[in-house]
Amino acid sequence: MLGHTRAAFRAGLGLTMIFCTYAALAAAAAPPPKYTLDPARSLLRFSFMQAGASNTGRFSKYTAEVAFSNDNLAASKIDVTIDIDSLDTGDKERDDTLKMPDLFDVKKFPTAHFVSTRIVATTAGRYEAQGKLTIRNVTKPVTVPMTFQNKMEQGKNIGYMTGRAAIKRLDFGVGQGDWKATDQVPDDVAVTFSLRLTPVG
């Protein structure tokens, strides 16, 4: 009788472990929720040096499609497209210069595009989005340190994503002819973002 009880106990324990494992795998495989950009409450900025002075600008037109879950980073993804013609540094002459063929050449290359290939956690609430950035039809790998937080607002699960990426403009050909020189306009450009994301569906 005791042996029968032990066998039944082992069988029950085995079924319990199988059920728990299955439940854990099912939870891990749950697809991350999808979000889209709330442009009215989001910011995408860039900063650079010119003749020793710090300058900032922003893009007013861009899209962001995000799928994100801290429990399923493997399936999480970020896809951002920027309308380069929407850049604004507060100086029309400088804006027109940035759009010309030797720099962004917006008539030939109207958009920039970033798509993540992998998102990894670094510390609590902080991540790195590893991916590919395309500017002027040149694609380079970049890593974007970022944060992601969820907040319930009027019954909706809103996502807030912030971050900063450092890029080299010459890696993407933004600087032809005389603009290849870095004495007046250095190679380094910083891109910062603060995005409010609303759930899809």
Give the pLDDT mean for 169-182.
Answer: 96
pLDDT at residue 65 above 60? Answer: yes
pLDDT (tens digit per residue) in 20-30: 444 454 455 69
Q: Which residues contact 101 (CB under 8 A, 6 or more apart)?
A: 107, 108, 176
What is the CATH number assigned to the segment(s) 32-199? 2.40.128.110
Burial class of 154 by CB neighbour count within 10 A (0 to 12, 13 to 18, 19+): exposed
pLDDT (tens digit per residue) in 114-140: 999 999 999 988 999 999 999 999 999
Helix (H) or strand (E) holding 42: none
Q: Which residues contact 198 (CB under 8 A, 6 or more apart)?
A: 35, 36, 37, 38, 156, 158, 159
Phi, psi (5° rounding) for residue 78? Answer: -130, 130
